[in-house]
């Protein structure tokens, strides 16, 4: 057991990105303890009183001599009951019962006395004797989580930074591919409905209009205030499951999880109007231009970026403070694939 724990700690601390770290923690707990399910939940960035399950592993026993288990990475809200509230408010582990009357151990994930989430373990037996081990693993995870966050996040806004974009996008495309394969299998090989989902992920590129004028007229301190406010509005308007990036300077990216085109347009328009309606005490009104494009599983990240950038460039050329979709512009003949616009520089 001691050697296995040591190996698990080594595996946990060698992770270099958030997704791999989360998988490593959940898998480690499932390997070491007699559990039926392990869930990792995070507090919402925008709404600190809400929990969201970001990763879950269900262990269903053994089939044909091999463990039967399933992963779920689809974000799902978690009702904060009295036990969860106690765990988060007091930063103490506690035992409760799940809705299916299974024993549940709750362990707070926190750093420097600030709650970040909860690790939930469902089991057919009392796990109290493992509490010290679990609290140690969660503390190692929390410390490593802070280190990874510092490398993946923009220092001013706390949004994901440019260097993480391609890695996050690749992972999202991989998840999409698996979900599409599952849909096809569920629908049947001869059912074409499974091959043509009505939703897809979207990449939106946002640019603050006339930002250079703001810096030149009011100074960089007020420019930073605008950037900070924009990042806060992004967290408030978009879903926790959407990926938010500061791509550089006054340019930001949003990766929207699968939605129909019109729903994606509505979400982006909501953000644009939210920004336009905010009045800064010194700067006054600040607007953003937005271009967005569909994310297809066979596209390269650079291609997706260039498509969104072309739609953004079109928005800049046609009045600013507006939002355009690349595919719609192509269909309407207002853009052509051969047209070279924008200046996306990946490296």
User: DSSP per residue over 175-212, as a string?
Assistant: HHHHHHHHHHHHH-TT-GGGGS-S-EEEEEEEEETTHH
Q: What is the pLDDT of residue 344?
A: 46
Q: Which of 13-17, 108-112, 117-121 bottoms out in mean pLDDT, i.e. has the lowest?
A: 13-17
Q: Does 58 have pLDDT greater than 90?
A: yes
Average pLDDT over residues 294-300: 82
Q: Which of 37-46, 62-71, 298-307 bottoms out in mean pLDDT, i.e. has the lowest?
A: 62-71
Q: What is the pLDDT of residue 338?
A: 55
Q: How confident is the model at residue 108 (pLDDT cuts 50, 70, 90)?
A: very high
- Domain identity same for 125 and 239: no
- Domain identity same for 146 and 54: yes
Considering the candidates 22, 52, 250, 257, report the single residue annotated as catalytic. Answer: 250
- Domain identity same for 37 and 166: no
The helix (run of H) or strand (run of E) holding residue 63 is strand 51-63
- Tell which of 150, 178, 200 closes a domain: 150
Q: How confident is the model at residue 319 (pLDDT cuts 50, 70, 90)?
A: very high
Q: Which two tokens stand for residue 45?
A: 């960035």
Average pLDDT over residues 12-17: 84
Query: How many percent of the chain have pLDDT more than 90?
Result: 57
- Would residue 251 show up in a list of annotated catalytic residues for this protein? no
- Domain identity same for 76 and 205: no
Q: What is the pLDDT of residue 339?
A: 44
Backbone angles phi, psi at 148, to 5 degrees: -65, -40
10 domain residue, yes or no: yes
- Domain identity same for 14 and 136: yes
List % helix, strand, coil for the chain (3-state, nearest 5): 45, 25, 30
Q: How confident is the model at residue 190 (pLDDT cuts 50, 70, 90)?
A: very low
Q: Does 196 have pLDDT greater than 70?
A: no
300 domain residue, yes or no: yes
Contact 65, 155 (CB under 8 A): no
- Domain identity same for 146 and 291: no
Q: Exposed/middle/buried for 308, CB within 10 Å: 0-12, 13-18, 19+?
A: buried
Q: How confident is the model at residue 146 (pLDDT cuts 50, 70, 90)?
A: confident
| Domain coverage including residue 115 | 2-150
The domain tally of the chain equals: 2
The CATH number of the domain holding residue 33 is 3.30.450.40
pLDDT in tens, 202-219: 999 999 999 999 999 999
pLDDT in tens, 67-101: 688 988 877 889 899 999 999 999 999 998 877 77
Beta bridge partners of 122: 37, 104
- Tell which of 108, 128, 150 closes a domain: 150
How does the average pLDDT of the chain come out, rounded? 86
Q: What is the pLDDT of residue 194?
A: 40
- Domain identity same for 184 and 311: yes
Q: Does 123 have pLDDT greater than 60?
A: yes
125 domain residue, yes or no: yes
Q: What is the pLDDT of residue 185?
A: 66
- Domain identity same for 129 and 170: no
Q: What is the pLDDT of residue 289?
A: 98
Scanning the structure block, which residue is given the tokens 């207002």?
A: 334
- Domain identity same for 169 and 318: yes
341 domain residue, yes or no: no
Q: What's the rounded Cα separation, in Å, for the pair 192 and 236? A: 37
342 domain residue, yes or no: no
- Tell which of 96, 127, 150 closes a domain: 150
Average pLDDT over residues 168-187: 68
Q: Does 340 have pLDDT greater than 50?
A: no
Q: What's the rounded Cα separation, in Å, for the pair 132 and 265? A: 49
Q: What is the pLDDT of residue 83?
A: 93
- Domain identity same for 123 and 166: no
337 domain residue, yes or no: no
Q: What is the pLDDT of residue 250?
A: 95
Q: How far is CA 182 from CA 175, 178, 186, 188, 257, in A?
A: 11, 6, 6, 10, 17
- Domain identity same for 91 and 166: no
- Domain identity same for 145 and 220: no
345 domain residue, yes or no: no
Q: What is the pLDDT of residue 182?
A: 62
Q: What's the rounded Cα separation, in Å, for the pair 2 and 273? A: 57
178 domain residue, yes or no: yes
Residue 316 half-sphere exposure, CB side, CA atoms within 13 Å?
Answer: 17
The CATH number of the domain holding residue 207 is 3.30.70.270
Q: What is the pLDDT of residue 300?
A: 81
Q: Does 166 have pLDDT greater than 90?
A: no
């Amino acid at each position: 057991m001691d050697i296995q724990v040591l190996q698990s700690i080594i595996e946990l601390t060698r992770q270099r990105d958030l997704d791999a770290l989360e998988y490593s923690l959940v898998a480690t707990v499932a390997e070491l303890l007699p559990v039926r399910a392990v869930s990792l939940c995070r507090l919402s960035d925008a709404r600190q009183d809400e929990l969201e399950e970001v990763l879950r592993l269900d262990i269903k026993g053994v089939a044909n001599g091999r463990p039967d288990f399933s992963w779920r990475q689809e974000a799902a809200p978690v009702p904060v009951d009295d036990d969860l509230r106690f765990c988060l408010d007091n930063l103490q582990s506690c035992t409760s019962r799940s809705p299916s009357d299974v024993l549940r151990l709750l362990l707070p994930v926190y750093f420097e006395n600030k709650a970040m989430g909860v690790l939930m373990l469902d089991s057919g037996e009392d796990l109290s004797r493992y509490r010290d081990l679990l609290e140690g693993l969660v503390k190692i995870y929390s410390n490593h989580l802070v280190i990874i966050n510092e490398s993946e996040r923009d220092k001013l806004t706390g949004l994901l930074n440019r260097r993480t974009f391609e890695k996050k996008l690749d992972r999202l495309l991989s998840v999409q591919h698996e979900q599409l394969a599952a849909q096809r299998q569920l629908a049947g090989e001869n059912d074409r409905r499974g091959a043509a989902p009505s939703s897809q992920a979207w990449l939106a590129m946002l640019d603050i209009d006339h930002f250079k004028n703001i810096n030149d007229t009011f100074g960089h301190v007020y420019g930073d205030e605008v950037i900070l406010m924009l990042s806060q509005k992004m967290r408030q308007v978009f879903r926790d499951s959407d990926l938010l990036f500061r791509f550089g300077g006054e340019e930001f990216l949003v990766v929207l999880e699968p939605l129909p085109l019109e729903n994606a347009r509505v979400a982006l328009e909501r953000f644009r109007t939210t920004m336009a309606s905010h009045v800064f005490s010194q700067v006054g009104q600040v607007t953003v231009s937005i271009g967005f494009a569909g994310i297809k599983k066979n596209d390269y990240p650079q291609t997706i970026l260039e498509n969104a950038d072309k739609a953004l460039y079109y928005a800049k050329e046609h009045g600013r403070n507006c939002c355009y979709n690349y595919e719609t512009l192509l269909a309407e003949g207002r853009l052509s694939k051969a047209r070279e616009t924008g200046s996306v520089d990946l490296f």
